[in-house]
Amino acid sequence: MSAFLALVTAAFRREAEHRSRILMRILGGLVEILARISIWKAAFGGHGTLSGISLDEMITYSLIGGTILSSWDATMIVRDVGATIRTGAIGSSLLRPMHYPVMLLAEQIGVRLFDWLLISLPVIVIMGSIYGLQPPESLAHALLFVGYVVVSLAILMGFAILVGLLSFWVFDAHALEWFMRGLLAVLSGGLVPIWFYPQGLAEVAHALPFSWIAYHPLAAYLGQRDLTEELLILAAGAGWAAVLAFAVAFVWSRACAQVVVQGG
């Protein structure tokens, strides 16, 4: 565990080395949130509610869904794993007395924590003070939301690592990255809440684990369901996280036999 935490901290500190990048990413985040809010304002077009959702709630959804719960940057794992394999740097990771997926997870959590603290938080504070951020429905919903964020992170990381490990077979990680990015943009509900989806697509999204990445946590935050239902859905999300963890362990054991370390 101490090694895991040390890796999380190291990844966090490594991110902090790129100071100029932080500013650019905050600016990018502001522009993205502005675009999302503008789209929702246009969509509501003066109506008070759409399908029982108010514009203020949608602004809050955009603010959190476009920052803390965004799956966009997580796809970078796929690129990183791909590059590690293509250049043969995977050899160095394999020499360490830790399992590679665990090391990846620790590093990505470090990166994620950094992003939350230094990019998401400023963006939420700035845009929230302009457009207004709704508080969670109740204290219980707030606590559930925290639980959901943990599950969201676990599912996102589990899936990203799983796809990343596929680079052992598919040498073109770029294709995998875009596949994952497109899939998550639609199925996580980060961009558009699933309650606006046509029925067929909504059913597909509900049947897959990706809706726990953004949609379910936000629905809980906004108090769309009662607490018992929330708890059950949260437990289902934790189950999905466990399934992904098993899948990663299985694929990794296969990948180990497959390893070809490139270069001298």
Q: How many residues does the chain have?
A: 264
- Of the residues 10, 83, 207, 235, which one makes contact with another protein according to CB under 8 A: 10
Q: How large is the C-alpha radius of gyration of the chain?
A: 19
- Of the residues 17, 42, 47, 52, which one makes contact with another protein according to CB under 8 A: 17
Pick the stretch among 22-30, 95-103, 160-168, 212-220 that binds another protein (CB under 8 A): 95-103
Q: How far is the CB of 256 from another protein (least distance, A)?
A: 8
* Cα–Cα distance measured from residue 156 to residue 74, given in angstroms and rounded to the nearest whole number: 7
- Of the residues 46, 48, 52, 263, which one makes contact with another protein according to CB under 8 A: 263
Considering the rule CB under 8 A, would residue 175 count as an interface residue with another protein? no
Smallest CA-to-CA distance from 240 within 157, 146, 180 is with 157
Smallest CA-to-CA distance from 102 within 194, 5, 213 is with 5
- Of the residues 79, 86, 99, 206, which one makes contact with another protein according to CB under 8 A: 99
50: β partners: 53
Considering the rule CB under 8 A, would residue 35 count as an interface residue with another protein? no
- Of the residues 24, 83, 98, 207, which one makes contact with another protein according to CB under 8 A: 98
Considering the rule CB under 8 A, would residue 20 count as an interface residue with another protein? no
63, 124 in Cβ contact below 8 A? Answer: yes
86, 177 in Cβ contact below 8 A? Answer: no
* Cα–Cα distance measured from residue 221 to residue 61, given in angstroms and rounded to the nearest whole number: 9
Cite the beta strand spans of 29-93 per DSSP E. Answer: 49-50, 53-54
- Of the residues 51, 95, 226, 228, which one makes contact with another protein according to CB under 8 A: 95
Considering the rule CB under 8 A, would residue 2 count as an interface residue with another protein? yes
Considering the rule CB under 8 A, would residue 6 count as an interface residue with another protein? yes
Considering the rule CB under 8 A, would residue 118 count as an interface residue with another protein? no
Considering the rule CB under 8 A, would residue 76 count as an interface residue with another protein? no
Considering the rule CB under 8 A, would residue 88 count as an interface residue with another protein? yes
- Those residues with Cβ within 8 angstroms of residue 174's Cβ, 6 or more apart along the chain or in another chain: 79, 82
Question: Residues in the site for another protein, rule: CB under 8 A?
Answer: 2-3, 6-7, 10, 13-14, 17, 88-89, 91-92, 94-99, 256-257, 259-261, 263-264
